Structure 1
C-alpha cells in the first residue's frame, strides 16, 4: 500500500509543506481550513488578506490534476477556474474562489442549466481536440473496451472471498458472456469516427461555477481521455435524480441532445442519438477506472468501506443503458 494516502494529509510535515506552497503563491495565510478529506483527495480553504482560495491534493492514482488544470487554464482560461499556483510534482493545486456552484445555487433541478452544462463541457472537449492535451492521462478507447472488461473481471473475481474489492462470481460469469455485446457497443461508437478527447468523468452541478454568463469547470481528478459522448453519463444520471424523471422523460433527451449538438458537424444527429446508449455504457468503464485508481492507495479501513465500488460500476454494464437514450443492442 502506498504511503501517500489520506492519513498523510493530517501529518505535520505535509501541512508545513502545504503552508509553504500557499505562502509562496498568495502570501502568508490568515487561515488554512480543511473543508473536505476523502480517501481520493483533500481540500483546504485558504484565507488571506486579499481573499479566499482553495488548495487541493489527490491520491497517487489521481495525481495528474494539478498539471492538467494548469494546462487547461492556458488552453481554455474562460472555461476552468483560475489557477493561482500549481506544483505538478506534488499535485498541489491552488485555485481562486469564484463563489457558489450550480448545486449551491439550487440550480441542479433546472433543465436549461443541465443543457448549458453538457453543451459548454462539450465545447471544451472540442477546443481540446483542436489544441491537444499534453498531460499524461489514462486512455480508454472503444476498441479496447472488451479487453478492459475482461482484464478487470479476471482481476477482481480472483480476489479472496473476504476482499471487499472482489467481484461476485455470478456477475463475473455474466460479464464474460457480455463481451460480444461490448464489442458491438464499441463498433457503434467507433462508426461515428469522433476524436478521443478529455472526459471530465465527474461532471455534476457541484463541480461547475457560473461566472459572468459563462460556466467554469473544476475537479478534474477523475479525468481521462476517451470517446467524448461518455462525458454525458454522469450529467444524465444526476439530472434524472434531480428532476425525478423516468427513463423516457423528454427532458432527459433534450439534455442529451444539447451535449450531442457539439459533434453534429462530424456525425449526423440521428447517428449520434442512435449510438448514445452504447457510448454511455462504455462511459461506465471510465468510472471503473477512476475508482480503481482511488482504491489502490486506500487504507484497509477505507477499502472495507469503499473497495466494492469498482466492481459495482463494472457490474452496472449488465443494467439497462443509462437514461436519456434508447437501447439499441440486445443484452445477455
Structure 2
C-alpha cells in the first residue's frame, strides 16, 4: 500500500531518483539542480527534475494505478502525436520518466472556451479510434478490463461490498438505494449488453478526462495521466468531461451546449455508425458509466493506506448513487 509517507520516505525516493538519473544519463542528459517533489497524493507522486535539456518529471503511482507506466509507454508507441510519450518506464516499480508537456488547457486560461472543449473531445475520440485495435494488448498489459460484458458481475460484487459502500456510516450508500440497484441488476446488464452489441469497439477509457489532464500544443492536444484508465466501451469517457465542461463553462442543467460537446466527441466515430446510433450508444454509456467510475475509485483506494484513503472513500458510494441521479445530458433536447 502507498500513502504520502511512502512517497516522502528516502528509502523510496532516493532509489527512484537514482533510476531517473541513470535513465537520463542514457539519454545524454544531466540533472542540473535539486529535484523538487511538487505533487504528493496518497496514490501518486510527481517530482520535477531540472536537466540540461529542460525539465523532466518523475512520476510514480500506487498499485491501484499500476497500469499507467506500461499503458503510457504503449500509447506512446501507437499514437505518439496524441499523448505525452514517456522517456522511460519501469513497470515493475510503477515509475515513469516524462518530458515536460507544457501548459494544460486549464492553466492556459482556455478552460472556459467552448471551442477548446469541442476540439479536446474530438481529439480524444481520434486517439481512441486509433488504438482500439490494441484493446486486447492493453488488457495483456494489465490495464483493468471494464468492457461492458464484464461490468454486470463487477458491479454486483461492488454492491455486495459493505466496506466499499461504507455501509452503516454517514457517508455510506443509502440501504434503500442499494436494494433498488440490486433489484435493477437485470436492467443494468441489459444496458451493458446493448453497448457490447453495438458497432463501436472497446478502446482505452481515460476515466478522468478534464482540462487539467491535457496539454495544449501547436497542433492539438497531448493527453496524459492514465492512472484511472481501463479498457472499456470508449463512450464511458464522456461522463467526466461533460460534467467538467458544464462547470468550466457555467452551463445550466440540460444545456444544449452539452449536446454540441457530445456530438463533437462522436464525430470521429462516424466511420462505425450513423449519428443517431452513436447518440443512442452515448446515452447508454452515460447510464452505465457511474458504476464503472465507482469501480475505478474502489480499485485505487484499495491500494492506499486506510488512514489516507479515508477522506476519499465516500467517492465509491457517491459514484454508485450517481447511477440513479440525473446525468449530464438529462433535460437536454436530443
- Fold similarity call, TM over 0.5: yes
1:222 is aligned to 2:228:
yes
Give the equivalent residue in structure 1 for 2:259.
253
Q: 1:227 to 1:45 in 2, by over 3 A?
A: same
1:318 is aligned to 2:318:
no
Q: Deviations over 1:38-68 (max 9, x none)?
A: 1121111111232111111111111111111
Q: 1:128 to 1:164 in 2, by over 3 A?
A: farther
Give the equivalent residue in structure 1 for 2:27.
none
User: Structure 2, unaligned stretches of length 5 or more?
Assistant: 25-29
Give the equivalent residue in structure 1 for 2:46.
43
SS in 2 for 1:120: helix
Provide the rounded CA distance (Å) in 2 between the counterparts of 1:90 and 1:164. 37
CA contact (8 A) 2:207 2:229 kept: yes
CA contact (8 A) 1:157 1:168 kept: no
TM-score by length of 1: 0.91
State the Cα distance separating 1:115 from its structure 2 match.
Answer: 0.9
Provide the rounded CA distance (Å) in 1 between the counterparts of 2:37 and 2:213. 18
CA contact (8 A) 2:133 2:203 kept: no
SS in 2 for 1:48: coil
- In the alignment, which of 199, 208, 219 is matched to residue 213 of structure 1? 219
Greater shift, 231-240 or 172-181, is seen at: 172-181
Give the equivalent residue in structure 1 for 2:34.
31
Provide the rounded CA distance (Å) in 2 between the counterparts of 1:158 and 1:44. 31
User: Structure 1, unaligned stretches of length 5 or more?
Assistant: none
The aligned length equals 326
CA contact (8 A) 1:140 1:226 kept: yes
Q: 1:15 to 1:103 in 2, by over 3 A?
A: same
Q: 1:157 to 1:299 in 2, by over 3 A?
A: closer
Give the equivalent residue in structure 1 for 2:14.
16
TM-score by length of 2: 0.90
Give the equivalent residue in structure 1 for 2:82.
79
CA contact (8 A) 1:65 1:220 kept: yes
CA contact (8 A) 1:6 1:298 kept: no
CA contact (8 A) 2:101 2:215 kept: yes
Root-mean-square deviation (CA, aligned residues, Å) is 2.2
Q: 1:215 to 1:119 in 2, by over 3 A?
A: same
CA contact (8 A) 2:159 2:165 kept: no
